[in-house]
Structure 1
Amino acid sequence: MSRFGSRAAAFAALLLTGAAPAPAPVLPPIAKPLPAPTDRRPRATVVLAPYRYDDLLWENDRTAHRIYGRALEAAEPPSGSGVDSWGKNVPWAFADRQLRTGDQHAYHGEGLDFYNVGTARGAGGLGVWQDNKLWTSRNYAQFRIFKNGPDVADFEVRYAPWPVGVGHAVSETRRFTLPLGTAFTRMVSTITADTPGPLLIGIGIGKRTTLADTDGALTVDRARGVLSWWGPETGDHGRMAIALRVDPAMIADIRDDADNHLVLLRVTPGRPFVYYSGSAWSLGEGGIRTRADWDRYVADARLDFTPPKEAN
């Protein structure tokens, strides 16, 4: 919806209910405008950024993300397999133009990156929980893009084997699917292990942003498989909101480590399982302005946890 459409909808709501519409968010000052987009239509897209160590970027009209390539491990250590989430306040694609500025952490008029992933799990990265510790992979090793919009971004990445404890290793293939009109990316993960038996997989929400070294507020609804995080206020950057939705029948525990809020799932190696990662910006698209807005949106989303017949 265009800004004009949003204003018209707000005015119509005012006429029907008599309630004043929520005030428009106050955005940060623009450091330097981005180059103009070639297409202002809403689009779901996935883009490889070889100019930036093979970051993979995906976004739709409401949310934007990236994961990191292997080259970044040497260029900017430490680096890991967490999922980054960006705020955006335009319905068209902006992440590739933002990243090309080399200044993605500043506001250039369309969005910005201020969620701090580091070696944490970010918005839905995972690891194996063993010996009271989360064992995680390095950055993605391979990728395949299945569909680059306009209605859906759909791709797959493979993570090279990584150690779990002493003498054991696992690897992962994960498919990411983000259609238009939602804050949730559907993720289908298949874990392969070199030993038989079930695993505990910890899926996480990183606790910090780049401008605030404090945690936000977490809402947990175990019965519905919901973890909903409302990030700390970060000056004129507002707040990031992150959520996980999992099949509640798979939950073994919900707990924290130093960097993450974690939901632990019982997983059978070789068998794909589905979970969802969502994000929003308190100043961005989608009208999420408060913790209550975010919790309500996350809880009400109708999501399908049925695994595909084939993992790949």
Structure 2
Amino acid sequence: MKKVFLLLFVTLIGYSCSGEKNVKISVKNDSKIDRENEIVEMSLGDISQKIGLSDTTQIVVLDEQGQQVPYQLTYNGNLIFPVMVKANSSVEYTVQAGTPEKFDTLVYGRQYPERVDDIAWENDRIAFRTYGPALQATGERAFGYDVWVKSVSEPVVEKRYEGELNPETKAQIAELKKKDPKAANELYKSVSYHVDHGNGLDCYKVGPTLGGGTAALMANDTIIYPYCYKTFEILDNGPLRFTVKLTYNPLTVNGDSSIIETRLISLDAGTQLNKTTVTYDNLKEEIPIVAGIVLHEPESKAKYATVAEKGYISYADPTDNPDNGNGTIFVGAIVPSAKDTKAVYFEEKEKKDLRGDADGHVLAIADYVPNSEFVYYWGAGWSKYGFDTIEEWNTYMDKMASIKKEPLKVSIK
């Protein structure tokens, strides 16, 4: 599925400005890191006031060479677009009335009620999913975020679900199983998203763990695992940003069963990492909070990093079938407010009775203050799409941790 969006301003059926009025957007990079295709945002209302845009005015965003760049209007009234800014320098972009070009949709997601209420989303680098109420109703325990690797920039998730869930194909497989199990298996593999058909696959194990970067409260050093989301609302859906708001069933925290978790998850084009803002209603006292990545190997074999001073953790996951040529999934999380990072392995009884074949978690630990927002970043990469080794992934995570602490400075002139 490849979608193309015409980027419009509100209803956008014409434009009322002459095109002579414009506003300059200054983007300054005070860091020592070149910023490439990083998404910046600013208030669309502030821009409109400066150049007198009406609700039916089409706009364009131009770089310093006068070339149009893609943009998106977000649910909270912001204008976002990608910028290129060298280290210790600044660039200027122009917003004015005009007819926007067509740009590819790089970010997309939706709920899949046909697959037990999954919500899956992707950008041009990586894909993710989280589990919904229909899955929880089955009794299957899947607490954390799932990672779907991809090796192409175009959208793949929709086609993967179409292949995996096609009712006619499923019926053929069921019939073949009765007389030719081998043929049934071959047909299944030809459509399954657990097999790489040239653009990646689902080969990550979540189970009853935090999966690929889920946040959770801790009480007395024990993780309070969230389950599947209760309700959802998709707020942004491309071409440059996907945003979903999730609410959860009440958690019991230190005897209080009225704690309601809300997550706001955003994925931008060009990055491996989601930004997530977590809040807890009705919580009355400060409590530890973690962002965790499941470990699928004993400590003697696991390749992970815990960098407390920069607030990031990472892990090279061997995938659910290391002998199948699935490569390695590199998973990471950045918690700017982290006070500690460490690996914690399950006791044998917990591992055997509760966690399936998982061995533990690598955790970034912070404190959650009631009525505050816990902001962190989590995501993944693949050894078959841009990251050959854990060292390369750690370099990326280190760079991103630095970038999060030195955001670009955006001003409207």
TM-score higher than 0.5: yes
1:270 aligns with 2:371: yes
1:204 aligns with 2:267: no
Residue 81 of structure 1 and its aligned partner are, at CA, apart by 3.0
| Matched residue SS, 2:397 | helix
State which structure, 1 or 2, has the greater radius of gyration over its C-alpha atoms.
Answer: 2
- 1:56-75 deviation digits (Å, cap 9, x = unpaired): 01110001000000101233
- 1:218-246 deviation digits (Å, cap 9, x = unpaired): 11110000101112271200000100101
* Aligned equivalent of 2:29: none
| Matched residue SS, 2:153 | coil
Residue 165 of structure 1 and its aligned partner are, at CA, apart by 4.2
**Structure 2 residues not aligned, in runs of 5+:** 1-102, 165-191, 347-359, 408-413
Distance in 1 of aligned mates of 2:224 and 2:369: 17
| Matched residue SS, 1:124 | strand
Q: Aligned-pair RMSD on alpha carbons? A: 2.4
Give 2:397's match in structure 1, choosing from 298, 306, 309.
298
Task: Assess if the C-alpha contact under 8 Å between 1:178 and 1:185 holds in 2.
Answer: yes
Distance in 1 of aligned mates of 2:255 and 2:374: 26
Task: Assess if the C-alpha contact under 8 Å between 2:212 and 2:332 holds in 1.
Answer: yes
Identity across aligned pairs (percent)? 27
Structure 1 runs of 4+ off > 3 angstroms? 165-169, 252-255
| Matched residue SS, 1:299 | helix
Residue 206 of structure 1 and its aligned partner are, at CA, apart by 1.2
Distance in 2 of aligned mates of 1:58 and 1:183: 12
* Aligned equivalent of 1:58: 121
Distance in 2 of aligned mates of 1:155 and 1:291: 30
**Counterparts in 2 of 1:147 and 1:197: CA distance versus 1, 3 Å:** same
Task: Assess if the C-alpha contact under 8 Å between 1:137 and 1:161 holds in 2.
Answer: no
Task: Assess if the C-alpha contact under 8 Å between 1:63 and 1:280 holds in 2.
Answer: yes
Task: Assess if the C-alpha contact under 8 Å between 1:88 and 1:111 holds in 2.
Answer: yes
| Matched residue SS, 1:116 | coil
Give 2:381's match in structure 1, choosing from 243, 265, 280.
280
The two structures have a TM-score, normalised by structure 1, of 0.77
Name the aligned partner's letter for residue 370 of structure 2: P
Task: Assess if the C-alpha contact under 8 Å between 1:80 and 1:137 holds in 2.
Answer: no
| More displaced stretch, 180-189 vs 258-267 | 258-267
Distance in 1 of aligned mates of 2:338 and 2:390: 26
Distance in 2 of aligned mates of 1:89 and 1:161: 38
Distance in 1 of aligned mates of 2:344 and 2:281: 25
Distance in 1 of aligned mates of 2:116 and 2:301: 29
- 1:169-207 deviation digits (Å, cap 9, x = unpaired): 42211111111111010001112234x210111211011
Task: Assess if the C-alpha contact under 8 Å between 2:307 and 2:341 holds in 1.
Answer: no
Residue 252 of structure 1 and its aligned partner are, at CA, apart by 4.9
Task: Assess if the C-alpha contact under 8 Å between 2:311 and 2:341 holds in 1.
Answer: no
The two structures have a TM-score, normalised by structure 2, of 0.59
* Aligned equivalent of 2:317: 231
